[in-house]
Every structure is written in C-alpha cells, then in structure tokens.
Amino acid sequence: MASSDNIIKKILLAEDDPDDVSFFFQYLGERPDLILLPPVENGEEVFDYLEKAHNGSFPDLIILDQNMPKCNGLQTLAILKNNTAYENIPVFLYSTYTDAYLVKQSIQLGARSVLEKPVSVEGYHKMINDILRLI
C-alpha cells in the first residue's frame, strides 16, 4: 500500500462527547494528510451519512467511539460489516477504557483495531499515525 501513502485520507468520526470532538478537530484539523468529515454523534447518524454519500465518496476510514447513545460502537460496527456496500471501509473503535472483551469482540466483528482515547496532543497524532499505518 506504499502508493496510497501520499493520498489524503477522508476520516469520519462518530463521537457524542463535544470535548472529544473538539480535541479531534483542534489537533488533527491542521494535518495536510487528512480530511476530517463533519462529525456524527452516533451509529444511526453514520448510516444516514453513508446513505447520502454518493458511491465512491465514502470515507477512507471510520473511527467509532464505543460509548455512544442509540447505537454504540460495537453495534454500529456489526451493521457496517454486514452491509456489502460498506463492508470494505476500514473501521476503528476507540474508547476511554479498552478491555480484553471489547478488543476481542471488535476484532471478531471486523474492526481493524481498538484504540484507547489519547490524553495529550501527541497522543492524538500517534493514534492517527497508527491508524494510517494499518489501512
């Protein structure tokens, strides 16, 4: 995937916590290698977004917060991976607390990786770099 290294990645973030949305956009918004799509607040909104997106204009990757109202990270992941139109979009879960159960479930359902929410600016950059390396 060396050829795709230079391509700008479009990221869709599903996150209900306004502080976390703000951290994400504040620290990652200036990166030239990323396009941050307008954030959505839960799983249902992820599907609304994808339905409206014309084929081919899907995000390059989706980051799901696990702890969201209505449709949480794992539930959203399961539905995405069961839909042939969306199943190829790489999905990452992130959460304040990750335990063995969450990691196991997520990987089984088809997530690329599960990440712990960063606690510093450097942490955010490191998380995104790890994600970009994995897709």
Partner 1 sequence: MDRNIQLKNDLMRELEETRRQLYEAKETIEAIRTGQVDALVVQKGDTHQLYTLKTADHTYRVFIEKMTEGALTLNQQGIILYANSRFGEMIGMPVSAIIGLPFEQFIAKDNLSFYKTLFTTSWAGDCKGEVTLHYNESHTSVQLSLTVLELDEGLSLSIIITDLTLQKTTQRKLEENNRQLELLNHTLENSNHDLQQFASVASHDLQEPLRKIQMFSNLLKKKVTGILGEEDIAYLEKIIGSTERMKTLIVDILNYSRLSADNGEFITADLNEVLKELLEDFELMIADKQGKIIYKDLPTLEVNRGQMRQVFQNLISNSLKFSKEGIAPVIKIKAKLIKEKSITGEENINGEYCLLTFEDNGIGFDEKYANTIFSLFQRLHPKDSFEGTGIGLSITKKIIEKHQGLIQAKSTPGIGTMFMMVLPLKQMTNGQL
Q: How far is the CB of 117 from partner 1 (least distance, A)?
A: 6
Rg of the chain in Å (alpha carbons): 14
Task: Say how far apart CA 34 and CA 84 lie, in whole Å.
Answer: 26
Considering the complex, state which of residue 60 and residue 65 has its C-beta at the smaller distance from partner 1.
65
Residue 33 or 116: which CB sits closer to partner 1?
Answer: 116
Beta bridge partners of 116: 95
60 in Cβ contact with 68 (< 8 Å): no
For binding to partner 1 (CB under 8 A), which residues are involved?
17, 19, 23, 67, 95-97, 99-100, 117-121
The least CB distance from residue 121 to partner 1, in Å, is 7
